[in-house]
Structures are given as structure tokens and as C-alpha cells.
């Protein structure tokens, strides 16, 4: 991550002035300051949530950022498990498509369509193997246990602030961003 000559204003008040930063892979950095010093603002800019500033702030190309705000928002329509599962939705679709193709193989008789399904299945198999997706359910289960989350069927609206924060943190850790920003 790189930030060059970044300045952030709230109205006429400069909250952050002429900030220069570079974070390299593997670095663990804490930002200290008094209340209102701009720590949260800095993290929101780094996460790409706040785009209203002067100067440059950019994540290294090909890298991802994950941001946990002070008051994380969960989907109230879903239980704890459903919220955590949001973090693996894209990976889950790969498995679902693989299983869907497996079911279709016995029904398709046209050679061209069959070959197309085999080719897609091979591509999906490679993605599944490369990303260890056969272990996805186990990875989610372990993450939920390690983070000491409430039961998966617990309603998020009834969780304490600390429990909500742990659910959000679990989601973030499962996503495995390259840059982890904790406010």
C-alpha cells in the first residue's frame, strides 16, 4: 500500500495533512493517536471506503484490502452462519457449479455439449484443488470455533456488540485479504 501527499479535510478543517506511507507485505503496523486525530479516517481511506481526499492512496495492484470498522454492520436478514457464509459465497459457487455439472453428465448425450461440460469441470476441478475448496465447510467451521462465535443459527439482532464484532472479524479473516485493516 502506498499513500503520497494525502490530505483529508472535513469542510475547512484538515483532519490529515500531507501523509506519506508505504506498507510492505508482512508488515504489522499500528496507528496511535488521540480521539479525533484521524485514525479511523486514515483506515477508511486505505480501505477505499472514503475516496474524498487530495493526493494519492493506492493498494498495490493485485492485492485486496479487508476493513473492520469500529461498529461493523451485519446482515440482519441472516443468522450468524449466513453472515459468515457471505465471505465464501464466490468460492461456494465454484463448488455448486462443479456439483451441478456432475449431475448433468449422466443426462447429456450430445458429444459436443458433453465435451464442453468436461472442459468446464476440469477447469473447476483445478480451481477447487488450487484453493482447497473441498475443505471449505471445515474451514468455516474451524474459523467460527476459533473466533468463539455464537451458534450458527443465532439471530444477529440479538448479539452483543462484541459478538457482532467477532462475527464480522471471522468473515474478514475467512476472506483472507492481503491487507487487514482493523479500526
Would you give per-residue pLDDT tens digits along the chain (183 residues)? Answer: 999 999 999 999 999 999 999 988 888 999 999 998 999 999 999 999 999 999 999 999 999 999 999 999 999 999 999 999 999 999 999 999 999 999 999 898 899 999 999 999 999 999 999 999 999 999 999 999 999 999 999 999 999 999 999 999 999 999 999 999 999
Residue 22 resides in a domain: yes
Our count of domains for the chain comes to 2
pLDDT the model gives residue 24: 80
Do 58 and 117 fall into the same domain?
A: no
Residue 104 resides in a domain: yes
Do residues 79 and 154 make contact, with C-beta atoms less than 8 angstroms apart?
A: yes
- The last residue of one of the domains, among 30, 63, 96, is 63
Do 106 and 56 fall into the same domain?
A: no
Beta bridge partners of 135: none
Do 36 and 84 fall into the same domain?
A: no
- The last residue of one of the domains, among 63, 93, 116, is 63
The three three-digit cell numbers of residue 130, written as one number: 488450487
Do 86 and 167 fall into the same domain?
A: yes
pLDDT the model gives residue 26: 85
Do 104 and 153 fall into the same domain?
A: yes
The three three-digit cell numbers of residue 26, written as one number: 508482512
Do 112 and 50 fall into the same domain?
A: no
Do 58 and 87 fall into the same domain?
A: no
From edge to edge, which strands make up the β-sheet containing 2-10?
13-22, 2-10, 54-58
Query: Residue 126 belongs to what domain range?
Result: 80-176
pLDDT the model gives residue 42: 96
What does pTM read for this prediction? Answer: 0.82
| Per-position DSSP letters for 71-111, written without gaps between them | S----TTSBHHHHHHGGGHHHHHHHHHHHHHHHHTTT---H
Do 41 and 103 fall into the same domain?
A: no
What's the CA gap between 173 and 161, in Å, rounded?
A: 18
Do 43 and 84 fall into the same domain?
A: no
Amino acid at each position: 500500500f502506498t499513500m503520497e501527499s494525502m490530505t483529508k479535510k472535513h469542510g475547512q478543517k484538515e483532519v490529515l495533512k500531507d501523509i506519506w506511507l508505504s506498507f510492505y507485505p508482512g508488515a504489522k503496523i499500528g496507528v496511535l493517536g488521540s480521539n479525533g486525530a484521524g485514525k479511523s479516517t486514515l483506515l477508511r481511506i486505505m480501505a477505499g471506503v472514503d475516496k474524498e481526499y487530495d493526493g494519492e492512496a493506492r493498494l498495490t495492484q493485485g492485492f485486496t484490502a479487508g476493513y473492520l470498522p469500529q461498529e461493523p454492520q451485519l446482515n440482519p436478514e441472516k443468522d450468524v452462519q449466513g453472515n459468515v457464509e457471505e465471505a465464501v459465497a464466490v468460492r461456494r459457487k465454484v463448488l455448486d457449479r462443479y456439483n451441478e455439472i456432475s449431475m448433468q453428465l449422466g443426462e447429456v448425450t450430445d458429444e459436443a455439449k458433453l465435451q464442453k461440460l468436461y472442459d468446464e469441470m476440469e477447469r473447476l476441478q483445478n480451481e477447487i484443488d488450487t484453493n482447497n475448496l473441498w475443505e471449505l465447510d471445515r474451514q468455516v467451521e474451524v474459523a467460527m470455533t476459533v473466533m468463539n462465535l455464537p451458534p450458527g443459527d443465532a439471530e444477529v439482532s440479538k448479539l452483543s456488540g462484541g459478538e457482532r464484532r467477532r462475527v464480522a472479524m471471522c468473515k474478514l479473516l475467512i476472506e483472507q485479504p492481503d491487507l487487514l485493516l482493523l479500526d
